[in-house]
Amino acid sequence: MNTKMIRYILAKMLGVEALLLLLPAFVAVIYGEKSGVWFLVPIALLAVLYLIGGRKRPKEQTIYGKEGMIIVALAWILWSLFGALPFCLSGYIPNYLDAFFETVSGFTTTGSSIMPDVEILPQCMTFWRSFTHWVGGMGVLVFVMVLTSLDKHHTMFLMRAEVPGPEKDKLVPKAMSTARILYAMYLGLTIVEVVLLVFGGMSLFDSLIHSFGTAGTGGFSNYAASVGHFNSAYIDGVITVFMILFGVNFNLYFFLLLRDFKPVWKNEELRAYLGIILVSALLITWNISPSYPNPLTAFRYAIFQVASIITTTGYATTDYVVWPLLSQMILLILMVIGACASSTGGGIKVSRLLMVFKCIKREIMQMAHPKSVNVIRVNNKKVGSDVLRSLYVYLMAYGVLMVGSILIVSIDNKDFATTIGSVFATLNNIGPGLAEVGPAGNFSDFSPLSKLVFCIDMLAGRLEIFPFLMLFTASAWRRKF
């Protein structure tokens, strides 16, 4: 294993985080906030670490899949560890574990919070908290790849470990260019949203915060009532549309840019994704309409919540915990389904779900005609057996992780819905769960052990489990050759 290269890339990553931390410090200067000085501590620390480890390129630069996975997992953990420092040092989140939870929740675009009242945070802290969403959405390593020429030859190993979805494609032959294109589209969409939100009467700062939260499908807001604070149909509408847009496979936007509409129109995952959103929204509208003045208002709240949950954003315009059980169950199922592959959302991903249904169909077919031969197609392309195998294994690992987390969290003896909802919300990077951890609640009541489990779930969920599992076996890997 090339430990020198791992050290080098990680040191570079830390250097980039130091640069990123300059932004909230800058915000503090604009608003004249004293708490901005607390950003200087991690900046200095990271800069020193960068100077120690990241200046000299190691002679041996080849890295392989194993190193790629370990780098990715370690990078996410380290970024969160250092990113948590300002919250903790400034005293707004005095407990370091809580600050770590908040930062992990930020980078993994979960949006779960342990803060009872987010409105007490100064602007610079709020900015950093939401900015982590934006950086984490597209992947921190892909972000660093865009900024620096990390390693020209083996970037694909890093991308593969970080970009979600069952199959990983590049848009253009060069991984670096792919990363740049992805980020350009990501940045473009974000800017459009900011403009539209400002147009709707939001302040620039608020619109930035909410665009970061939407773009990364994160869900941090600077108001306790989340998007509901604005109580504006226009803002709800804009954010709904953008949440859905950020939950779409980014490769499709690339086709749009190339004016190639057919693959987008024919994309099965996109169709399924939009179909699920529409059907769920209509069902919930029907289910909750008695408590709203007219069906249109009910639909406004329903579609917002459906989009927020399926894309794993986690914004809320109302406290859905008070909705009827059917609606809550639909939301719980949407939590697991998640957004499209290669989007900024979490969850199992719609394309995996599609494959699973096709596998079930094939199995039934196979039972009726034992000798029949069937291939599974998605978007009219055959899905290879190794992709299917990793799909099964992913689902199993996902299930095991979920069950294990629920078991540990249940030590806290919360009620059933809270326990399950909290694990679902963190493992799928959503944010709010059910009952006590619903949109109106927060995660501060859990024991430190549970918070740690949630942190692991968020990271594992964001990195699609395996890079993270690899890290836990890293010591074994080093010894086993």
Q: Residues marked as binding?
A: 109-110, 218, 312-313, 429
Rounded CA-CA distance 441/240 in Å is 22
The length of the chain, given as a count of residues: 481
Q: Which residue's CB is nearer to another protein, number 371 or number 480? A: 480
DSSP class of 58: P
480 lines the binding site for another protein (CB under 8 A): yes
Q: Which of 157, 153, 155, 154 is nearest to 144 (CA)?
A: 155
Rounded CA-CA distance 450/77 in Å is 17
Whole-number minimum distance, CB 475 to another protein, in Å?
15
Q: Which residue's CB is nearer to another protein, number 43 or number 158? A: 158
Whole-number minimum distance, CB 107 to another protein, in Å?
30
Q: Token pair of 44, please?
A: 């200095």
Count of residues near another protein by CB under 8 A: 5
CA distances from 413 to 328, 424, 440, 457 (A): 22, 17, 20, 19
Whole-number minimum distance, CB 470 to another protein, in Å?
15
- Using CB under 8 A, pick the residue from 32, 371, 386, 481 that binds another protein: 481
Q: Which residue's CB is nearer to another protein, number 64 or number 199? A: 64
62 lines the binding site for another protein (CB under 8 A): yes
Rounded CA-CA distance 333/330 in Å is 5
Q: Which residue's CB is nearer to another protein, number 91 or number 481? A: 481
Q: Which residue's CB is nearer to another protein, number 59 or number 369? A: 59
Residues in contact with another protein, shown as a per-residue x/- string from 231 to 270 under the rule CB under 8 A: ----------------------------------------
454 neighbors 430 (Cβ within 8 angstroms) = no
1 lines the binding site for another protein (CB under 8 A): yes
Whole-number minimum distance, CB 61 to another protein, in Å?
12
Rounded CA-CA distance 107/277 in Å is 25
Residues at the binding site for K(+) are 109-110, 218, 312-313, 429
CB-based burial label for 152 (10 Å; 0-12, 13-18, 19+): exposed
Q: Which residue's CB is nearer to another protein, number 373 or number 476? A: 476
Whole-number minimum distance, CB 481 to another protein, in Å?
4
Rounded CA-CA distance 125/121 in Å is 6
Whole-number minimum distance, CB 359 to another protein, in Å?
23
Rounded CA-CA distance 237/82 in Å is 36
CA 474 to chain centre: 24
Whole-number minimum distance, CB 64 to another protein, in Å?
5
3 lines the binding site for another protein (CB under 8 A): no
Q: Which of 431, 439, 239 is nearest to 347 (CA)?
A: 431
Q: Which residue's CB is nearer to another protein, number 259 or number 480? A: 480
Start-to-end C-alpha separation, the chain? 9
Whole-number minimum distance, CB 479 to another protein, in Å?
8
DSSP class of 89: H
Whole-number minimum distance, CB 60 to another protein, in Å?
8
Name, in order, each residue with C-beta under 8 angstroms of 480's C-beta and a sequence gap of 6 or more: none
64 lines the binding site for another protein (CB under 8 A): yes
CA distances from 287 to 156, 165, 302 (A): 46, 32, 10
Rounded CA-CA distance 36/463 in Å is 31
Burial string for 21-34 (b: 16+ CB within 10 Å, else e) reads beebbebbeeeebe
462 neighbors 136 (Cβ within 8 angstroms) = yes
Whole-number minimum distance, CB 54 to another protein, in Å?
23
59 lines the binding site for another protein (CB under 8 A): no
476 lines the binding site for another protein (CB under 8 A): no
Q: Which residue's CB is nearer to another protein, number 160 or number 229? A: 160
**DSSP-derived 3-state class of residue 323:** coil
Q: Which residue's CB is nearer to another protein, number 1 or number 264? A: 1
Residues 288-347 that bind another protein (CB under 8 A): none
User: Within 13 A of 424's CA, how many CA atoms are on the CB side?
Assistant: 26
Q: Which residue's CB is nearer to another protein, number 62 or number 177? A: 62
CB-based burial label for 380 (10 Å; 0-12, 13-18, 19+): exposed
Say if strands 381-382 and 377-378 run parallel, antiparallel, or are unpaired.
Answer: antiparallel
Binding residues (CB under 8 A) for another protein: these are 1, 62, 64, 480-481
